[in-house]
Amino acid sequence: MSMWLVIAPLLLMLVSGLFIMLVDAFAKERAELALVTSVAIAVAGAISLGVLVQGGAPADMPEVLTRYLASDPFAHFFDVAICAGASLSVLLAGGYLREHGLERGEFYVLVLFSCFGAMILARAIDLLSLFVGLETMSLGVYAMIAFRRTSARAVEGAMKYFLLGSFAAAILLFGSALLYAGTGHTDFVGIGEMIASGDAENRLVLVGMLMVVVGLAFKVSAVPFHMWTPDAYEGAVTPATTFMSVSVKAAAFAVFVRVCMVALGDESVMTASGWPTAIAGLAVLTMVYGNVAAIVQKSIKRMLAYSSIAHAGYVMVGLVAAAEIGAPAISAVLFYLLAYTVSNALAFGSLVVMGSRGKEAVHYDDLRGVGRRHPMAALPFVIGVLSLMGFPPTAGFFGKYYVFNAAVQAGDVWLAIVGVLASAVGAYYYLRVIVVMFMQEPEEDQVLAVPMKSGYVATALAASGAAVMALGMMPGWFLDVAIEAARQLLG
Amino acid sequence: MEIGLGEYLALASLLFGIGATGFLTRRNALIQLMSIEIMLNSVNVVLVAVNRFHPENHAGQIFSFFVIAVAAAEAAVGLAILIALYRLKKTIETDKADVLRH
């Protein structure tokens, strides 16, 4: 396999980012930047999918690349999830920004560069590339949240995320430096070998490990490090929220898994005082708090923000199980993240389609009776929330099934029970969307949400809806790919 | 007295603690940004110090250059957000930014 094919997705992001920046500066007419951007990202994802399916011997890469970036099936799998999420977000942005009079080209540039950072993060096998990828991704996202700069909500959400995100990055970085101090290595494999051979300075490694876990928990918005999430998600324009909740989260989990399994995969740090216990605690808090807090929200966007917090908890259950049983649990995590990406993109896309200019759907009440007035616009929302809820035969059902199954196999039965109970609580607020849309009538003199019409948004909804159903109808194929990727990660 | 890794780590932890305390106690976003810079520089101290004791490659020193560069980029984006906030609210006190809570 050619080296160029393997790094083509990364190059494509960079080149198209620069290209769009130029076109946006010089184009006088309204250019279809959303179309170009989403096609570029989709092509990058397709290349990675091709490499992933084709398999074969790893490409011959120069040392400067292999030292910092992996090009294994694990990375390509996450490329697919990240690119799917980013491409759908851009399609949504194409409709949303025009409808709300915000059409400016820099949004697409920010998505492309941020997506580049996310892909670097998914490939990171060194603390250096971890840090640079994380910051490249985050800096784009900070700017993306503040995109509607005349809105106090947007700028405030951006400021909160920026301050807390930078604080978390500093903690993560100090932890990385301590890991380096404890082992003398910055590459994950080297750190893992030093820990396994017993030559590492254990106290430094332990403190470093905790700080790295805290820093990453911030990025995946695990409770109690989630404070920024609802504000940032609510303040941002909805397509940016979509990107944050799917691509950014997937990339953060990619590196979370890699750090835990490769650098900290030795048994001596997976004991009672190691990371599995810490992450199990975080997972329980995240699942319970995320679901309970989502119930009391009045704004649908905030509800989806808390729901995405809860989903981070389910993924962490898989990560805890991976400490015990390895590859099967990691493949469950991979499948879950892919399923969550398309389901959440579908749910946020439905929220986008529910609002034309000045008549945006914000609260549950705004959706009253929409299902009867505009059944075609309501249908994606139904599929999206059912999949997030974990209703068969959608993608979300198999995602939850594999993750909880992995937890049971690993002997963490109590964790699986908490997870199932928490998702039962979650069913309440997901079903409430459907109840409001189909079984309630609007009050007199209420401003009604009117669905918008846009080819971009319709395409995004059709694509993500099809992906949700495809993952639900034939989960086996995707799971096989995920298992292969997980096996090669563990070597 | 020979200065070993422990002394460097103590200095770095002290700097990191000062930065973290500043970030958590102050409410002025600019001061918080400066506190984060102190935290990042404490990391640089660790990286460069460790490199002295593990001179096989220059991983630590190279890493610290990246930290400096990324910190500059972060400050650029952060200050832009703060200016946008100041234009809207005429303040950068973080506890006055509270529309999202209502």
What sign for the dihedral angle of Cα A126, A69, A83, A434?
Answer: negative
C-alpha triplet B67, B73, B76: angle, nearest 5°: 140
What average pLDDT does chain A have? 92
pLDDT at A60: 78
The phi, psi pair for A124, rounded to 5°, reads: -60, 130
Is residue B72 a part of any domain in this protein? yes
**Mean of pLDDT values over A178-203:** 92
pLDDT tens per residue, range A11-35: 999 999 999 999 988 887 667 899 9
- Which residues partner with A126 through β-bridges? A187
Tokens of B71: 């910190």
Number of domains in chain B: 1
Tokens of A273: 């005082």
Domain span at residue B69 reads: 5-91
Cβ distance A327 to A483 under 8 Å? yes
Residues of B in contact with A157 (CB under 8 A): 100
Among A346, A370, A394, A397, smallest CA distance to A451 is for A370
What sign for the dihedral angle of Cα A388, A389, A390, A393?
Answer: negative
Residue A8 has pLDDT above 90, yes or no: yes
Which region holds residue A56: left if phi is over 0, alpha if psi is between -120 and 50, else beta?
left
Is residue B100 a part of any domain in this protein? no
Cβ distance A124 to A258 under 8 Å? yes
Residue B102 has pLDDT above 60, yes or no: no
DSSP state of B95: G
Residues of A in contact with B90 (CB under 8 A): none
Q: How far is CA A132 from CA A123, A254, B40, B53, in A?
A: 12, 15, 14, 24
Share of chain A above pLDDT 90, in %: 74
Cβ distance A160 to B99 under 8 Å? no
Cβ of A155 within 8 Å of Cβ of B88? The answer is yes
Instruction: Give residue A194's pLDDT band: very low, low, confident or very high (50, 70, 90).
Output: very high
Q: A322 CA to chain B: closest CA distance, Å?
A: 30
DSSP state of B90: S
Cβ of B85 within 8 Å of Cβ of A156? The answer is yes
Cβ of A162 within 8 Å of Cβ of B78? The answer is yes
Share of chain A above pLDDT 70, in %: 98
**Helix, strand, or coil (residue B27):** coil
Residue A273 has pLDDT above 70, yes or no: no
pLDDT at A76: 94
Rounded CA separation A294/A300 (Å) = 9
Cβ of B97 within 8 Å of Cβ of A158? The answer is no
pLDDT tens per residue, range A321-358: 999 898 999 999 999 999 999 999 999 999 999 887 87
Is residue B101 a part of any domain in this protein? no
Cβ of A155 within 8 Å of Cβ of B81? The answer is yes
Residue A178 has pLDDT above 80, yes or no: yes
Q: Which helix (H) or strand (E) holds B100?
A: none
Cβ of B36 within 8 Å of Cβ of A166? The answer is yes
Q: Nearest residue of A to residue B87 by CA position?
A: A150
Name the more confident of B23 and A105. Answer: B23
What average pLDDT does chain B have? 92
Instruction: Give residue A132's pLDDT band: very low, low, confident or very high (50, 70, 90).
Output: very high
Neighbouring C-beta atoms of residue B73, cutoff 10 Å: 12
Cβ of B66 within 8 Å of Cβ of A128? The answer is yes
pLDDT at A199: 86
H-only helix segments in B1-102: 5-25, 29-53, 59-89
Residues of A in contact with B73 (CB under 8 A): 135, 139
Rounded CA separation A205/A202 (Å) = 5
User: Which of the residues A131, A155, A302 would you substitute to probe the B interface, choosing the one with the greatest number of B C-beta atoms within 10 Å?
Assistant: A155
Residues of A in contact with B48 (CB under 8 A): none
Rounded CA separation A453/A11 (Å) = 34
Name the more confident of A451 and A177. Answer: A177
Residue B101 has pLDDT above 90, yes or no: no
Residues of B in contact with A170 (CB under 8 A): 16, 19, 36, 39-40, 43
Chain A touched by B32 (CB under 8 Å): yes
Q: Nearest residue of B to residue A235 by CA position?
A: B100
Rg value, chain B, Cα: 17
Is residue B84 a part of any domain in this protein? yes
Report the range of poorest mean pLDDT among A37-41, A168-172, A191-195, A262-266: A262-266
ipTM: 0.96
Rounded CA separation A51/B4 (Å) = 48
**Helix, strand, or coil (residue B93):** strand
Among A345, A263, A310, A267, smallest CA distance to A429 is for A310
- Which residues partner with A69 through β-bridges? A124
Residue A155 has pLDDT above 70, yes or no: yes
Within 8 A by CB and 6+ apart from B31, the residues are B22
**Amino acid identity of A231?**
D
Q: A135 CA to chain B: closest CA distance, Å?
A: 7
Which region holds residue A387: left if phi is over 0, alpha if psi is between -120 and 50, else beta?
alpha
Tokens of A261: 């399994």
Is residue B87 a part of any domain in this protein? yes
pLDDT at A357: 80
pLDDT at A272: 57
Is residue B25 a part of any domain in this protein? yes
Instruction: Give residue A271's pLDDT band: very low, low, confident or very high (50, 70, 90).
Output: low
User: Which of the residues B15, B46, B52 would you substitute to probe the A interface, choosing the one with the greatest number of A C-beta atoms within 10 Å?
Assistant: B46
Is residue B43 a part of any domain in this protein? yes
Tokens of B4: 């070993």
Residue A375: asked if its preceding bond is cis (omega within 30°), the reply is no
pLDDT at A97: 92
**Mean of pLDDT values over A189-214:** 91
Residues of B in contact with A166 (CB under 8 A): 33, 36, 74, 78
Chain A touched by B1 (CB under 8 Å): no
Q: What is the CATH number of the domain that holds B64?
A: 1.10.287.3510
Residue A263 has pLDDT above 60, yes or no: yes
Residues of B in contact with A171 (CB under 8 A): 39
Cβ of A173 within 8 Å of Cβ of B67? The answer is yes
3-state SS record for chain A: CCHHHHHHHHHHHHHHHHHHHHHHHHCCCCCCHHHHHHHHHHHHHHHHHHHHHHCCCCCCCCHHHHCCECCCHHHHHHHHHHHHHHHHHHHHHHHHHHHCCCCCCHHHHHHHHHHHHHHHHHHECEHHHHHHHHHHHHHHHHHHHCCCCCCHHHHHHHHHHHHHHHHHHHHHHHHHHHHHHHHCCCEHHHHHHHHHHCCCCHHHHHHHHHHHHHHHHHHCCCCCCCCHHHHHHHHCCHHHHHHHHHHHHHHHHHHHHHHHHHHCCCHHHCCCCCHHHHHHHHHHHHHHHHHHHHHCCCEHHHHHHHHHHHHHHHHHHHHHHHHHHCHHHHHHHHHHHHHHHHHHHHHHHHHHHCCECCECCCEHHHHCCHHHHCHHHHHHHHHHHHHHHCCCCCHHHHHHHHHHHHHHHCCCHHHHHHHHHHHHHHHHHHHHHHHHHHHCCCCCCCCCCCCCCCHHHHHHHHHHHHHHHHHHHCHHHHHHHHHHHHHHHHC
Q: Which residue in A132, A143, A231 is closest to B70 by CB distance?
A: A132
Q: B65 CA to chain A: closest CA distance, Å?
A: 11
Residue A265 has pLDDT above 90, yes or no: no
User: Which of the residues B16, B24, B30, B74 would you substitute to probe the A interface, choosing the one with the greatest number of A C-beta atoms within 10 Å?
Assistant: B74
- Which residues partner with A363 through β-bridges? A299
**Mean of pLDDT values over A125-145:** 96
Report the range of poorest mean pLDDT among A181-190, A361-370, A424-433, B61-70: A361-370
* pTM for this model (two decimals): 0.95
Is residue B46 a part of any domain in this protein? yes
Chain centroid to CA A437: 27
Report the range of poorest mean pLDDT among A71-80, A253-262, A408-417, A433-442: A433-442
